[in-house]
Structure 1
Amino acid sequence: MFFTYLRRELRRRRKAALVVASGLALGIALVIVVNSVSSGMGQAQDKVLESLYGLGTDMTVTQAADPEQEGQARGPRFRFDAQDDGSDEEQSSDRVMVQGFQTLAGSTVTQVGSQDGVAHAVGGLSLQVIKVSGQFTRGQFQQGGGRPSAPQGEGRVQGGGADFGVDTYSVFGTDVTEPELGPLTSSKITSGRTFTSSETDAEVAVADASYAQENELAVGDTVTVKDVTYEVIGIATPESGDAAANLYVPLKQAQTLSDSAGQVTTVYVKATDSQQIDAVKSAIQKNVPGTTVTTSADLAGTVSGSLSTASDLATSVGRWLSVVVLAAAFLVAGLLTSSAVSRRVREFGTLKALGWRSGRVTRQVVGEAVVNGLVGGVLGIALGLAGAYAVTAVSPTLRAELGGTGGETAVPGGGFGGGPGRQAASRTLDVALTAPVSVTTIALAVGLAVTGGLVAGAFGGWRASRLRPADALRRVA
């Protein structure tokens, strides 16, 4: 009897039911879209952070470089030998420098790895290579300097000079025995292979895809750094943002190139439990003095640009707007249901006169409202999925600016970046925004649909329970 009457009443009042369901659907759809966009913001930020120091890294340990005292700052020096044979052969010289941070002893990696809550710790060495190459051209002596009346033996040298170019690129020394941590994990090997655990001191390199394309490098080619020839065994394409470095070489090779035997610039740490990251950070700071520990949460605070702005809007304005619209939808649904009950005074009064108790009438009204809520939930989920799909299809590009400005390096492992003019303290990445819809979001939508129906039913049921048979008799013509 309950379902028969329910079906008949919903069919008879299709328009009113559709209005209530549509109001709930809009509120639920907005909640789905906002939650999905917020989730996409979180994923975009995770990609940005992973591009800095690699997948799976919970924190990094570094030591800030000592500021150079006034008068001691010196630029790189290059020296070229004079050619006595009169040839104009090209000459080149590489200056390999540690960049970003002061070096740490290799024992620091072991010390960090022994702390409670640390699952893995691996060291890396960030280098910058400045290559100057070119040639000297011998000038030609001209008798008389071009003047016919000049005395014998008088003249001048014309032509000649020097033509040198400067190329800057980054090299990162990675511990090949621990491939699960470090900046290289944020890139995918798209050609060739990555390092093997046996290549701890091998003269092999993995090149970033953009750098390889710019320099026409392919697997099997060679690159020379400071008179050491490395075979390119793989091409790595970053999965988001810029690559951490232009070239990756085994850690021992990087230490040899920079005369930094047994030294690292960054220790990459993975915690045993993500809930213990703060405790692990405190332990490292206490037991490994003089170091700076930076977690992904700390690094997230340095993210600015349109990604940060959009994230703030989605978190504050978007969610508050969802709450307001949803509350308004619930209120309107309740008022419409209550108004519908007032128009059914004769019907409910007659039913009570026939023996229906107030509880039965109330259950009937609540049942109709819950069905309206479920219909609104279905419509809302459909609209929400369509909105989330539209955001993903458009994939608006957001810009993330990481680190600060000025001379202080704020990004762990920062300064990996690529070519001339790149500042170690700041990086800019472009990230495509998506709006993934999770099962949790769908479950939330269903819960909101049922809640909306119950709220509307509560309004109408309260009104229906107060009706008396006499009210119906007074309305009979």
Structure 2
Amino acid sequence: MFGIYLKRELSRRKKAALVIAMGLALGIALVITVNSVSVGMTQAQDKVLKSLYGLGTDMTVTKARSAPKAGSSQGPRFQFDAKSYSKTSQSSDRVMTQGGQALKSSLVQRVAAQKGVASAVGALSLNVTKVDGSFTQGKAQSSGGGQQGGPGGSGGGQPQVQGGGANFDVNSYSVAGVDVTDQALGPLAAMKITSGKTFTSAQTDAKVAVVSTSYAKEKKYKAGSTFKISGTEYTVIGIATPDSSESTTDVYLPLKQAQSLGDAKNKVTTIYVKATDSKQIATVKKTIQSNISGTTVTTSSDLASTVSGSLSTASNLATSVGKWLSIAVLAAAFLVAALLTSSAVSRRVREFGTLKALGWPSRRVTRQVVGESVVNGLIGGGLGIALGLAAAYAVTAISPKLTAQLGSTGGGMGGGPGGGGPGQQAAKNTVEIALSAPVSVTTIALAVGLAVAGGLIAGAMGGWRASRMRPADALRSVS
């Protein structure tokens, strides 16, 4: 009886039911859209952090570079050979560690031994500044004749040097020394070899290199190409592409080779750390900082707070403005549904009064109204899910481009190899990433729950009003 009456009443009041359902649908669709975009923002931020920080890395251990002593020079210096007067080309590489003060390699084992640490590997970040060019010798010429050089002087002016000069190109790129025995953690963890191969565990001191896709394209390198750093020739064995955004490192070398180039034997600039439990990262951070003094421990959450650009702006809008907008629209949809249901009950005075006169108790009338409202809510939920999925799919299909900048965290590397130069704690790395709006099962379940809640709220108000009607009200409404 309940089902038959419910079906008949909903069919008889299609327009009213559709209006209520559409009101709920718009609110639910907005909630799904905002929620899915927020998830997409979080995933985009994670991709940025992974590309700059390293897959599987929970934190890094670095040491801030100490202030230079008074009178010391931190500027670049280049020394050429004795043929500086000739027209032949000159070339010089200046290799410097970057991103923080160098740490002893033995510190890697100390960090790995701390409670809560699953594994730790060291890496060395270098900056290579290459200067190529040539000097041209000038020629001395007299500045004229026949003129007196002054009282007691003789003719002929002072000789002047004309012509000559120098023409040099300066190229700077970043190099990361990688522990080839554990590449799942560290600078190469966020990279995928798309051409050639990566290092083997036996190539701890081999003169081989992996270069990023962008750097290989710029220099026209491919697997098998060779290049020199400070006179040492390296063979490119692989081209690496970042899993997302852009790479902040141009060249990857075995750690020992990087230490040799940077005159940093048994030194690292960054220690990449993987925690045994991702929920205990904050505790592990405190443990390392308390047991190993003078170091700076940077977690992914620390880096997340430094992400700026359009990604950060859009994320703030989605999580703050979008959240409150969704709540406001949803509350308005619930209120409109409740008012429309209550209004519909008012127009059914004769019907409910007659049913009570025929013996229907108030609870049965209330149940009937609530049942109709819940069905309206479910219909609205279905429409809302469809609209929300369509909106999320549109965002994913359009894939708007967002930019993200990872700034300084106040100590050490900040963004991993490639971040920061001499005298800097971290450099800003700008990356571009496409936004998607994935819809999870949890979001769908939330939508269904909101649909049922909206129907119950509307039904409760309408049912309360219907339960207060008396059979006499039906008789008074008969014309």
Q: Which TM-score band applies after superposition, normalised by the shorter structure? A: over 0.9
* In 2: Cα distance, 1:71 partner to 1:140 partner: 37
Matched, 1:433 2:435: yes
Which residue type is aligned with residue 426 of structure 1?
K
Which residue type is aligned with residue 427 of structure 2?
A
* In 2: Cα distance, 1:423 partner to 1:117 partner: 27
State the 1:2 CA deviation.
1.3
Residue number among 229, 233, 241 corresponding to 1:229 in the alignment:
233
- Farther-moved stretch of structure 1 (67-76 vs 158-167): 158-167
Corresponding residue SS for 1:249: strand
State the 1:54 CA deviation.
1.0
Matched, 1:475 2:456: no
Residue number among 444, 448, 451 corresponding to 2:450 in the alignment:
448
Q: Which residue of 2 aligns with 1:214?
A: 218
Q: Which residue of 2 aligns with 1:23?
A: 23
4+ long deviations beyond 3 Å = 86-89, 136-142, 144-148, 154-162, 408-411, 417-420
Q: Which residue of 2 aligns with 1:172?
A: 176
Corresponding residue SS for 1:24: helix
- Farther-moved stretch of structure 1 (11-20 vs 433-442): 433-442
* In 2: Cα distance, 1:425 partner to 1:266 partner: 15
Matched, 1:192 2:196: yes
Cα RMSD over matched residues?
2.6
* In 2: Cα distance, 1:192 partner to 1:382 partner: 46
Corresponding residue SS for 2:236: strand
Q: Which residue of 2 aligns with 1:78?
A: 78
State the 1:404 CA deviation.
4.1
**CA spacing shift, 1:35–1:47, aligned 2, 3 Å:** same
Q: Which residue of 2 aligns with 1:304?
A: 308
State the 1:393 CA deviation.
2.1
* In 1: Cα distance, 2:421 partner to 2:102 partner: 22
- Farther-moved stretch of structure 1 (45-54 vs 233-242): 233-242
Q: Which residue of 1 aligns with 2:109?
A: 110
The answer to whether the 8 Å contact 1:415/1:425 transfers is no
The 5-angstrom pairing of residues 5-404 of structure 1 reads 5-83=5-83, 88-138=87-137, 159-404=163-408
Corresponding residue SS for 1:22: helix
* In 2: Cα distance, 1:67 partner to 1:418 partner: 15
* In 2: Cα distance, 1:156 partner to 1:330 partner: 91
**CA spacing shift, 1:423–1:239, aligned 2, 3 Å:** farther
* In 2: Cα distance, 1:457 partner to 1:167 partner: 72
The answer to whether the 8 Å contact 2:296/2:411 transfers is no
Which residue type is aligned with residue 120 of structure 1?
S
The answer to whether the 8 Å contact 1:389/1:435 transfers is yes
* In 1: Cα distance, 2:421 partner to 2:29 partner: 45
- Tell me the TM-score normalized by structure 1: 0.92
The answer to whether the 8 Å contact 2:414/2:426 transfers is no
State the 1:252 CA deviation.
0.9
In the alignment, structure 2 segments of 5+ residues that lack a partner are 147-154
Which residue type is aligned with residue 75 of structure 1?
G
Corresponding residue SS for 1:77: coil
State the 1:136 CA deviation.
3.4
State the 1:289 CA deviation.
0.7
Which residue type is aligned with residue 114 of structure 1?
A
Q: Which residue of 1 aligns with 2:149?
A: none
Q: How many residues align?
A: 471
- Farther-moved stretch of structure 1 (158-167 vs 374-383): 158-167
* In 1: Cα distance, 2:139 partner to 2:458 partner: 99
**CA spacing shift, 1:192–1:200, aligned 2, 3 Å:** same
* In 1: Cα distance, 2:434 partner to 2:329 partner: 28
Corresponding residue SS for 2:388: helix
State the 1:65 CA deviation.
0.3
Aligned-pair identity (%): 68
State the 1:430 CA deviation.
2.1
* In 2: Cα distance, 1:123 partner to 1:299 partner: 19
State the 1:201 CA deviation.
1.1
* In 2: Cα distance, 1:37 partner to 1:69 partner: 50
- Tell me the TM-score normalized by structure 2: 0.92
